[in-house]
Chain A
């Protein structure tokens, strides 16, 4: 069963797994995990360069922007203005218009500031950015972001880095049903079954970082996630059976011995 390609902001991708590049031991491990995951889109953070340590290697030396679509994020931004400024700077590095917009509303939960996210999305879309907003799993907010012109919506499964898995599959189902843009579950995935569940629900993709980078063996987990996203997508397309309360026998009821 040939999958349709995954279209995002006018670009086509084969992999539906988007991976982050944070929390790895070093760039070599980052590169190995990204390769093993099969991801074609990788998120990066935007930070001040280290002035005192000038000989330092650059992340892009390990993740060639010609091979990977680089997706700069606005992690750490608590206001729309900070997020907008970060996106403008990120674009000037020269890796395209795609940005992961996140405006954090609370330090402990890292839940999004929905009002500020909407405000920043409006400005960024007008400036030609292809905005992928990280957002609460709220169907109405996802609709609003879609109306604004975001190229995807990225509802969280659970708090960032929590590994709690999909806390509200029913809201996600509504978001997926209403969406005209790709729905990408972003944040909260803990293990392969969480990623598969997201895809079985009908999500277009899954974005994760900690679940891979924080695993005991990140390279093995990267492969597990690749397979889980593929398996979940295939199961979704195959069409699962209905849930029933009682058993239905798998073997014929006729021709029994005796």
Chain B
């Protein structure tokens, strides 16, 4: 299997490189995202905030990170 597939995730619909399995909290820090401002889904399952430290993002995972924007 080519490296590029084994070492990337799908983040908000686009491929995102990941050198190895990464704790979710590390990914959020790398993206400069505060846990109080976002919510995360991995493979369609919501990750409770309490589990951010223990959750590992693995190659091939589909990760969604959302926040609030202006709306009516």
Residues of A within 8 A of B (CB): 20-24, 27, 30, 43-49, 51, 54-55, 58-60, 70, 72-73, 75, 85, 88-94, 160, 187, 207-210, 213
Contacts and interface: CB of A to CB of B under 8 A. Distances in A.
Contacts of A51: 11-12, 14, 16, 31, 65
A89 B39 contact: yes
Interface in B38-59: 38-41, 44, 46-49
A208 B71 CA distance: 10
Residue in B33, B69, B70 whose Cβ sees the most chain A Cβ within 10 Å: B70
14 contacts: A21-B71, A22-B70, A24-B70, A47-B66, A47-B69, A48-B64, A48-B65, A48-B66, A59-B67, A89-B64, A90-B66, A92-B40, A93-B66, A210-B72
A93 B46 contact: no
B55 to A, nearest CB: 13
B39 A92 contact: yes
B66 A89 contact: yes
A54 B66 CA distance: 13
Interface residues of B, number: 29
A5 B40 CA distance: 36
Nearest to A47: B69
Contacts of B37: 58, 60, 93
A70 B67 CA distance: 12
